[in-house]
Chains A and B, each alone.
Chain A
Amino acid sequence: MELGPAGSGGREPGRLREGLRVYRLVAGAWIRSTMAYRASFVMTAFGNFASTALDFVAILLMFTRVDGLAGWSLPDVAFLYGLSATSFGLADLAVGSVEGLGRRVRDGTLDLLFLRPAPVLAQLAADRFALRRLGRITQGLLVLGWALAAVDVAWTPLKVLLMPVMVVSGGVIFGAVFVGGSAFQFAAQDASEVQNAFTYGGVTLLQYPPTVFARELVRGVTFVLPLAFVDWVPASYVLGRPLPLDLPAWTAFLPPLVAAVCCALAGLAWRAGVRSYRSTGS
C-alpha cells in the first residue's frame, strides 16, 4: 500500500517501510497512553462493542418474526455479518483515524504533519490510534464464531483457506475506502459524512444477503465500488450458494486482487489530494 504523499521522492523503495515504521511508532505511543488508563479503556471498548453490536441486534429482532431473509437463514446472515463486521473493524482500527482529515485541514493542523520526515498518510492513520475499536472486532469475531458453528457447510481445504484471506482482504478493501474517502475531503472538507455513507453504509449493506437488494445496487457494489468482494462473493461460495449476479465460482478467490487494485486507486486518489492541497493550501 502506497503510504507516501506526492512529490516527495515517492519512488524510493524504502518509503513503504518508513511509513510502516512511523505508523508503529505513533500508534505505539497512543496504545501506551491508552493503557495508562485501563479502566477507561475497558469502558470505551465495551461501549464500542455494544454500539456496534446494535446492527446484529436488529438482525436478531428480524429473525424473531421470520425464519429467513430473501432465502438466507439466521446462521447464513450471521456469517455475512461476522465477516463484514470483523473486516471493517480491522480497517477502522488500522486506518479509521484518516476520516479526521477534513477537520485537520480546517483547523490547520494538517500542515504540522508535513513538517516531519515521515509520510503524511502514515502519521494521520496512526494519530489517535483507538484501541477501543477492538470492541467492534470482538463482537464481529464472536458472531462469526457462532455462525461458523451453526452454518451447514461442506468444508474443503480451499474454503478453510479462503476464510482468513477473506477477512484480511476485506479489511484492506475497507481501508482503501477510508483512505479514498479522506482524499475526497481534501476537495470538500465539510463532507466527511459522504465518507460515512461508504464506510458505515458499506458495512451495514454487507451484513444482509445480496439477494435482498436490487440488481443494479448489487452491480454497483460489485463492479464500481467492489465492496461485494469483502463477503458477498466469497461467502456465497463458502456457503455453497449461487454467487451474486451469477458470477463464476473462481471470482470467489478474487478478494486479494480486488484489495490490491483498491489500494492502488486509493493511493492515487490520496496523491492527487495531497498534490492539490500543497498547491492550494486548502
Chain B
Amino acid sequence: MVDGGTVGEGTPDGADAVNAAADGGRTAGAGAGGGFIELDRVEKVFAVRRRTGLLRSERREVRAVDALSFTVARGEMVGYIGPNGAGKSTTVKMLTGILTPSGGRLRVAGIDPARERTRLAQRIGVVFGQRTTLWWDLPLIDSYRLMHRMYRIPRARYRENLDRCVELLELGDLLDVPVRQLSLGQRMRGDIAAALLHDPEVLYLDEPTIGLDVVSKARVREFLRDLNAERGTTVLLTTHDLQDIEQVCSRVMVIDHGRLVYDGPLAGLHEAGGSERVLVVDLERELPPIEAPPARVVRVEGPRQWLAFPAAQSAAPLVARIAAEHPLVDLSVREPDIEAVIARMYAATAPVTPP
C-alpha cells in the first residue's frame, strides 16, 4: 500500500476527483446542518484467530475498515464498490447498526446507529441480494402485514406504499405465494417493496441485481431511479455490476483494504483506472484487423474481432464509423468489471511496493 493517503493521489485526475467529492460533501454538510450520512475516520478492527497447529492458534488484528471518511447528502444516489473483502459489507453493517465501530464517528440522519439501532431502523431500508429480509415460509403478503405493524406504519400510508410497490414492481400475483417459492428476481422485487413500506429516508442495497436476468435488472434499476426522483430517497448501492452504477448512481465510491481510494463520478473512475470497454464486432467474412483509433484490435477469430476502447468514451461514434466502413452482421459491448478497473487503477497510479 501507498503510505498515508489514497492511491488516487498518484494521478492528477484521481486526486482531483477525491478532493472535489470531499469538498462537495463538506459544503453540503455545512449547508444542511451536516450531511445525511457522515463518517469521520471510522474504523473497524477484527481479531482473527487462525489455526496454526492441532491445538495452537494465533490472534491477528485485521483492519476491515481503516480511517474511512465520507459524507453523503440527502437525496444522493451513491455506488459503493470494491473487490471482495475490501470492507464494503462491514461499512454497511456499521451504517445500519449491526456492527459497532471500533473508532471514529458515524451518523445517519443525525443518529448514532450503534447506540440507537431501533430508532434508526424506522428511518432506513435495507435490501440484501443474497439473503431475504422476508419471512421465508410465509406468504409475501404476511411479511408485509408484519412490517406494517412492526414499524407502526399508519394504515393509509401502508396501503398507499404497498399499492404503489405492487404496481411498479408487479407483485400482484405473488402476494399469496410463500417467499421460498419465489424466483430470485421475484424475491428481490418483494424484498425491495418490504424495505420501502415505512418510507425510509435512505435505502441500502447490497448486490440488488446479483443473479437476475436482464429484464429484472432493468426493472430494478428503473424503479430505483423513479424512487429517488419522486421521493428523494437517498440510495447507497454496493454492487459488482458497473452497469448498476452507470444507470443508477451519479457518484461512485471505491473502497479497497478498508480505505476510500476513489470518490467521484463513474467517468472519472474509468479515467483514473484507464479502463477499457470491448466492442465485439461480427463481420460478414474474415477481414484484416479494423483500423479505428483510438480503438485497437485485441483479438481476431475468423469473422469476429474484439476492439478495445477507453471506457470513458462513448461507443456510438466508433460503432457508426465501423458500420460505415465494414460489412457488419452484429456487435456487442462488453463492460469492464470492477476488479479489472480497480486493478488498472493500481497499475496506473501506484508503483507496487513490496509489503
Contact = CB atoms under 8 A, between A and B. Distances in A.
Interface of A: 5, 7-9, 22, 25-26, 29-30, 32-33, 107-109, 111-112, 114-119, 127-128, 278-281
Interface in B134-155: 135, 137-139, 142, 145-146, 149-151
Given A30-B138, A33-B139, A118 B150 contact: yes
A25 to B, nearest CB: 5
B224 to A, nearest CB: 19
B100 interface: yes
A118 B118 contact: yes
Interface stretch (B13-21, B91-99, B243-251, B275-283): B91-99
Given A33-B138, A114-B97, A26 B114 contact: no
Interface in B75-122: 90, 93, 96-100, 102, 114-119, 121-122
Given A278-B99, A278-B100, A279-B100, A116 B121 contact: yes
B142 A115 contact: no
Contacts of B126: 115
A112 B131 contact: yes
A279 B99 contact: yes
A198 to B, nearest CB: 26
Contacts of A29: 135, 138, 142, 145-146
A25 B90 contact: no
Given A117-B119, A117-B122, A278 B98 contact: yes
Interface residues of B, number: 34
Contacts of B142: 29, 32-33
27 contacts: A7-B114, A7-B115, A8-B97, A8-B117, A9-B118, A9-B119, A25-B149, A29-B146, A30-B138, A33-B138, A33-B142, A112-B128, A112-B131, A114-B96, A115-B97, A115-B133, A117-B119, A117-B121, A117-B122, A117-B151, A278-B99, A278-B114, A279-B102, A280-B46, A280-B47, A281-B98, A281-B99
A118 B117 CA distance: 9
A116 B122 CA distance: 8
A106 to B, nearest CB: 12
A251 B79 CA distance: 64
Nearest to B139: A33
A266 to B, nearest CB: 21
Contacts of B97: 8, 114-115
Contacts of B149: 25
A254 B206 CA distance: 51
Contact of A25 (B102, B124, B150): B150
Q: Which 9 A-B pairs have the closest CB atoms?
A: A117-B121, A8-B117, A114-B98, A117-B118, A278-B100, A115-B126, A112-B133, A111-B98, A117-B122
A116 B99 contact: no
Contacts of B128: 112
Given A7-B117, A111-B93, A118-B121, 15 more contacts: A7-B114, A9-B119, A29-B135, A29-B138, A29-B146, A30-B138, A108-B130, A114-B96, A114-B117, A115-B96, A115-B97, A117-B119, A278-B99, A279-B100, A279-B102
Contact of A115 (B115, B121, B146): B121
A7 B100 contact: yes
Contact of B131 (A8, A30, A109, A280): A109
Contacts of B98: 111, 114-115, 278, 281
Nearest to A119: B118
B155 to A, nearest CB: 15
Given A111-B93, A281-B93, A116 B150 contact: yes
A116 B113 CA distance: 12
Contacts of B135: 26, 29, 127
Contacts of B124: 115
Nearest to B195: A115
A88 B353 CA distance: 62
B100 A33 contact: no
Contacts of B90: 281
A8 B98 CA distance: 11
A25 B98 CA distance: 23
A109 B136 CA distance: 11
A109 B114 CA distance: 19
B116 A25 contact: no
A281 B46 contact: yes
Contacts of B115: 7-9
Contacts of B102: 279
B220 to A, nearest CB: 19
- Name the residue in B90, B98, B121, B128 with the highest tally of chain A Cβ atoms < 10 Å from its Cβ: B98
A108 B129 CA distance: 13
